[in-house]
Structure 1
Amino acid sequence: MLTRENRSMDQMIEHTYLSIRGLKLHIAHVGKGETATLLFVHGFPEVWYSWRHQMVAAAAAGFRAIAPDFPGYGLSEPPADLAQASWQGLMNDLLAIMDSLSISKVFLVAKDFGVKPAYDLALCHPDRVCGVVSLGVPPLVESLSFSGLPEGFYIYRWREPGRAEADFGRFDTRRIMRTIYILFSKSEIPVAKQGQEIMDLADESTPMPQWFTDEDLSAYANLYEKSGFMTAIQIPYRTKAAKAVCAKPRFEMPMFVIMGQKDYILKFPALKEYMSSEKLKEIAPDYEITYIPEGSHFVQEQFPDLVNQLMIGFVNKHV
């Protein structure tokens, strides 16, 4: 089953579905470059659409670009039992997609929670990964601690069974996506006060980020209207943090982090400490980072041309 997305004359992203580990997963793809394949891995509140600018740029540079929707996200079928969803399962989905498309090696491009399965794939199957570009999260072999953050911290709130469901349930999908993009594009960590919910931190009078268009909002709202938020709430917020799935905690390939200087994640106490530690250098000896001034958590949508330039430069350097 193959359709086409026609958002402009110069953008032709194709869409297909693959049977992956018993589920029907949606795959967006463009380009037929033989020199390299870029596998894009989304986080929350994102889907394949989050990578639209990077996919087209990769294809124009002569590469093949592939962006799946994880199970239960976007146009992909949800897992039958959400309680059984796991980080290792997401890594296995990526590997199965590569096998299904007969792709031997890829450059991984990941952000938000998507870095976890991407990093696991790089650690467990280094022979399948040429390099990793990550947005906002440096190379990790285990989950970071959230200690020191207040009770109203959004992850603490959304981990509670039923709380996010009740919070989101007060609004339509468009309002939910609008609020999330407003909150998570700021430089401060979303934290609710006592008696307040996360969705209360912005209202209809709060302006959207200038780079986030009404067309973008409609695209996300339409996709989440189809999928709902059940999987998005479970993964990553309620999926148990697993121990490293591979015994060898060292990245053997080049790693490149693109970080927005105003990404709220930089306010995580454990992350700031980790990024200046010797441990990071030990697990990722070929690691570099670039900061984008004014860049937010959604830096690839906010400054697509700059991110594209950095990403393609990295791939060309290591292809």
Structure 2
Amino acid sequence: MDQITHKFIHVNGLKLHVAEIGSESSPVVIFLHGFPEIWYTWRHQMVAVANAGFRAIAPDFRGYGLSDAPSEPEKACFADLVNDTASILDSLAISKAFVVAKDFGGWVAYAFALLHPHKVAGIITSNVLFMPPGAFTDHFVFPEGFYVSRWQTPGRAEADFGRLDVKSVVRNIYIMFCQSEMPIAAENEEIMDLVKPSTPLPSWITEEDIATYGTLYEKNGFRTALQVPYRTMHTVGSEVKDPKIEVPTLVIIGEKDYVMNVPGMEEYIRSDGVKKFVANHETVFVANGCHFVHEQFPDHVNKLILDFLDHNKHLALV
């Protein structure tokens, strides 16, 4: 961790924070985070890939962590994050990179590969498979009390989160998301009510880790984070009419990830329907793995990532 350096890159009118480790002459791996995370979620993986001879780069998305928020967070969209990813690589004179992403960062990764295929050597995502544009609105129906449904309503999550300090919000979300059940609130309760203050953290994350997340969220709060991904999910990849991912992809999914219980999701994952869009695709299930499998079982996930990178390293040199 002490070897990870930090810099700020001015792109698209904003100053974005980027964590980095590894030699500038090495093949590049860019890590894209989900929610409620920032670059720090990839701390175990960044060190592992750097030790294996790669250069690891992990930005905070705009409005997350130490990166600047857009002037109007309520107008932010997935296209902004895709453009920022391309601009970060261009600013660092990186022509091609492997993309490793979690959660909604996976949607950014796939959209980035569709729009900038020459910049991508391969994709690894955690708990998110490629889905064609409109998949969420056309194929998956979320229960009313599901956290995604609740957070899509402007103002509701802001009021819910506003009852607590930032660290407690992140702590509650970590506890909720590491369960196998979908976080669903009753009609007369809010999402933050689903976690009692006395509930302990899972053994694989510490109070110090949560404090780090909380401190880094103090800068921007959750305004942009609630807009992207939750209120712009329908826009993912909408620019592409015939989506095809040409590079190798690996999806790592915890078998006890609550995402598996989203109606229709497990059927889609296990049916290999994704191969209609991604020809060179592999899915690996991690026994007892939860939504944060990369933090829960870092050694196992690191091995999966490194095996993929080693097998496809030649693609980063093209």
Pairwise same-fold verdict (TM > 0.5):
yes
User: Deviation digits for residues 6-30 of structure 1, max 9, x if unmatched?
Assistant: x5xxx41000000010000000000
Q: What's the counterpart of residue 6 of structure 2?
A: 15
Following superposition of structure 1 onto structure 2, how do residues 16-31 of structure 1 map, counting pairs within 5 Å? Answer: 16-31=7-22
Are positions 1:194 and 2:194 aligned together? no
Are positions 1:211 and 2:204 aligned together? yes
User: Tell me, what secondary structure is at the counterpart of 1:226?
Assistant: coil
Q: What's the counterpart of residue 4 of structure 1?
A: none
2:301 is aligned, of 296, 304, 307, to 307
1:257 aligned partner, one-letter code = V
1:99 is aligned, of 65, 90, 111, to 90
Q: What's the counterpart of residue 143 of structure 2?
A: 150
Q: C-alpha root-mean-square deviation of aligned residues, in Å?
A: 1.4
Counterpart-to-counterpart distance in 1, 2:222 and 2:254:
26
C-alpha contact (below 8 Å) 2:9/2:18 kept by paired residues: yes
4+ residue runs over 6 A deviation:
none
User: Deviation digits for residues 34-68 of structure 1, max 9, x if unmatched?
Assistant: 34100000110010000011001011001000000
TM-score by length of 1: 0.94
Counterpart-to-counterpart distance in 2, 1:181 and 1:44:
10
1:309 aligned partner, one-letter code = K
C-alpha contact (below 8 Å) 2:136/2:233 kept by paired residues: no
Counterpart-to-counterpart distance in 1, 2:261 and 2:175:
17
Q: What's the counterpart of residue 213 of structure 2?
A: 220
1:157 aligned partner, one-letter code = R
2:251 aligned partner, one-letter code = V
Q: What's the counterpart of residue 81 of structure 2?
A: 90
C-alpha contact (below 8 Å) 1:33/1:62 kept by paired residues: no
1:115 is aligned, of 106, 119, 124, to 106
1:43 aligned partner, one-letter code = G
2:198 aligned partner, one-letter code = S
1:105 aligned partner, one-letter code = K
Identity, % of aligned pairs? 48
User: Deviation digits for residues 287-313 of structure 1, max 9, x if unmatched?
Assistant: 001111111100111111111111011
C-alpha contact (below 8 Å) 1:144/1:270 kept by paired residues: no
Counterpart-to-counterpart distance in 1, 2:123 and 2:268:
19
Counterpart-to-counterpart distance in 2, 1:86 and 1:198:
24
Deviation of 1:117 (Å): 1.3
User: Tell me, what secondary structure is at the counterpart of 1:227?
Assistant: coil
C-alpha contact (below 8 Å) 2:76/2:224 kept by paired residues: no
Counterpart-to-counterpart distance in 1, 2:279 and 2:257:
24
C-alpha contact (below 8 Å) 1:185/1:296 kept by paired residues: yes
Counterpart-to-counterpart distance in 1, 2:278 and 2:25:
28
Q: What's the counterpart of residue 172 of structure 1?
A: 165
2:97 aligned partner, one-letter code = V
Q: What's the counterpart of residue 3 of structure 1?
A: none
Counterpart-to-counterpart distance in 2, 1:238 and 1:280:
24
> How many residue pairs are counted as aligned between the two chains?
310
Counterpart-to-counterpart distance in 2, 1:128 and 1:109:
13
User: Deviation digits for residues 185-227 of structure 1, max 9, x if unmatched?
Assistant: 1011100011100000011111111111011011011111222
1:98 aligned partner, one-letter code = L
TM-score by length of 2: 0.94
C-alpha contact (below 8 Å) 1:30/1:56 kept by paired residues: yes
Deviation of 1:178 (Å): 1.1
1:284 aligned partner, one-letter code = V
Counterpart-to-counterpart distance in 2, 1:103 and 1:153:
40
Q: Unaligned regions of 5+ residues in structure 2, if any?
A: 314-318
C-alpha contact (below 8 Å) 1:39/1:109 kept by paired residues: yes
1:263 aligned partner, one-letter code = D
Deviation of 1:143 (Å): 4.5
1:39 is aligned, of 30, 35, 51, to 30
User: Deviation digits for residues 250-295 of structure 1, max 9, x if unmatched?
Assistant: 1111000011111111111232232244641121110001111111
User: Tell me, what secondary structure is at the counterpart of 1:65?
Assistant: strand
User: Tell me, what secondary structure is at the counterpart of 1:38?
Assistant: strand
